[in-house]
Amino acid sequence: MNRKVLSFLFLATIFFIKVSAQQQAVVISPIANLSLRPLQRTYKEKDIASVYDALAIASVGEISLCRRVHQLLFNETVTVVKEQEQEVLIEISSLYPAISCNNPHVSTKSYWIPKKHLKFLTAEDFKNSHFPKSIDTKNPYDETTHRQTVALLLPIYDPVTQKTYSAGTRFIYTKKQTSQNYWFVYVYDSNDNREKIITLPSSICIAPNILKTTEEKIKMFVELLKVWTYKDIKEKIPFVWGGCSIRDFCIPENFNITKFNATSAIQIKAYEREENSIPYSGLDSSGLILRAAQICGIPYFCKNSTTCRKHLRPLKENEAVEKGDIIWLPRYICAISSVENNKVVCARGYDPGFGFVDESDLSDLFAQVSTYEQLLEYHTSEKPILVKRRDGSTKQFGQVVILKLSSCWDN
């Protein structure tokens, strides 16, 4: 065997060992905020986990100064890139690299999280513990991803672990104890460092592997959005910048402006809701689509609107608008919930006067547009469109595009 072959085999072996040795960790808190940059240097004198947990709901103004870019849920598995004091740099298999809204040539695949929110997994953990298999962009149709797994459709408080788990949290269920009315699922309780079994009502859970076809998954996606925005419930899911969780609900009008420490020395104006506990739970427009889609087993991995625009296909000429399709605007997306009734589900921010997730008429979102036939004209012509604020004023957006949710399966 010549030297070149030997050298190649040696390097391949080293690469394999390096890849195989990547440290995995699992989220052990119900909700964990993520940042694009480490916060330890900015808040040198503080416990960094408490800084992450207390990140503001959203900053005032169109340019967000809030450091939260995403939220992970209990039982989500991540890859550890490096540790730095109280923080860990991680990669997430369930997201495409997020394309910057300011520069389409810049993307992000790594995020910072407090070490306190993670359990570093050992070989023994993989062998004996019950953590759901990660949703993976590289293998989106792996039938084992959702095997023996249930996901919460709504949040629930568990008296055994004394924690409230967000909608979207995934669990492994036991094979022997499952009943018709309850799922018996495994949880790792970080309070006493051991695995336990808790019960979840089957009425607020879904086993994603029961949804077999594209049509079934999109139908469930729309139905779930309608459940989250049921019109007869006064309390709504709050808007949270970078939010991708559902634990608390809010009275829509109950928010105000306060001052928030952006750094140890700089304060910014930010929104707050006094009735919600930290870390703040809620959804932004991208988190709404992402969380609902992944609950329903849809291979959707887009963290923001720019990434969504790249990976989903625009509606073609003479192609029908359908429930579940995505309305795209620069820095904003929402979902079509009814074509016949001209309904749309949106997570709308605080600056326009909203700050919650709701289903509304298309005419409440856009000026001079009340039907999807009219919206289609804007999609085709690429002419600017006016988006309504709550006080009746409008803001012009350069373009509106209707994206096919079913094109997720084309990637």
The pLDDT, as a whole number, for residue 8 is: 44
- pLDDT of residue 351 exceeding 80: yes
Q: Report yes or no: 247 and 281 within 8 Å, Cβ to Cβ.
A: yes
State the pLDDT at residue 18: 40
- Computed on alpha carbons and rounded to an integer, the radius of gyration of the chain in Å comes to 22
Which comes out higher in pLDDT, residue 9 or 191? 191
User: In the predicted model, is pLDDT for residue 171 greater than 80?
Assistant: yes
pLDDT of 2 reads 55
- Indicate the range of 7-11, 32-36, 149-153, 157-161 predicted with least confidence: 7-11
The span from the CA of 30 to the CA of 279, in Å, is 9
Q: Work out the burial of residue 82: count CB atoms within 10 Å of its CB; fewer than 13 is exposed, 13-18 middle, 19 or more buried.
A: exposed
Distance separating alpha carbons of residues 220 and 223, to the nearest angstrom: 5
For 163-167, 204-208, 221-225, 290-294, which range has the lowest pLDDT when averaged over its residues? 204-208
Per-residue pLDDT at 234: 87
- Whole-number average pLDDT of the chain: 90
Strands (DSSP E) along 36-159, which ranges? 58-59, 68-73, 77-84, 87-91, 98-99, 107-108, 110-114, 118-120, 149-152, 156-158
- Neighbour count for residue 254 (Cβ, 10 Å): 15
Q: Which residue ranges form the domains of the chain, and what is each CATH number?
A: 3-124 (2.30.30.40), 138-210 (2.30.30.40), 214-410 (3.90.1720.10)
Residue 334 has pLDDT above 60, yes or no: yes
pLDDT digits 0-9 by tens, 265-284: 678 899 999 888 899 999 99
Q: H helices within 175-213, ranges in order?
A: none
CA distance 305 to 382: 17
Whole-number Å distance between alpha carbons of 21 and 18: 5
C-alpha to C-alpha distance for 294 and 195, rounded to whole angstroms: 25
Does the structure show a pLDDT above 80 at 318? yes
Q: Tell me the three-class secondary structure of 253-281, residue by residue.
A: CCCEEEEEECCCCCEEEEEECCCCCCCCC
For residue 78 the two structure tokens come to 């991540």
**Which among 178, 179, 172 has a CA at the least distance from the CA of 145?**
172
| Of residues 359, 350, 167, the one with CA closest to residue 273 | 350
Here the tokens at position 362 are 């298309």
Question: What per-residue confidence (pLDDT) applies to 9?
Answer: 41
pLDDT over 50 at 216, yes or no? yes
With a pLDDT cut of 70, the percent of the chain lying above it is 92
* Residue 7: pLDDT band with limits 50, 70, 90: very low
pTM: 0.92
Does 14 have pLDDT greater than 60? no
pLDDT at 100: 83
3-state SS of 15-46? HHHHHHCCCEEEECCCEEEEECCCCCCCCCCC
Looking at residue 177, what is its pLDDT?
A: 62
pLDDT digits (tens, 9 = 90+) for 217-269: 999 999 999 999 997 788 999 999 999 999 999 999 999 999 887 766 678 89
Give strand pairing partners of 26: 77, 119
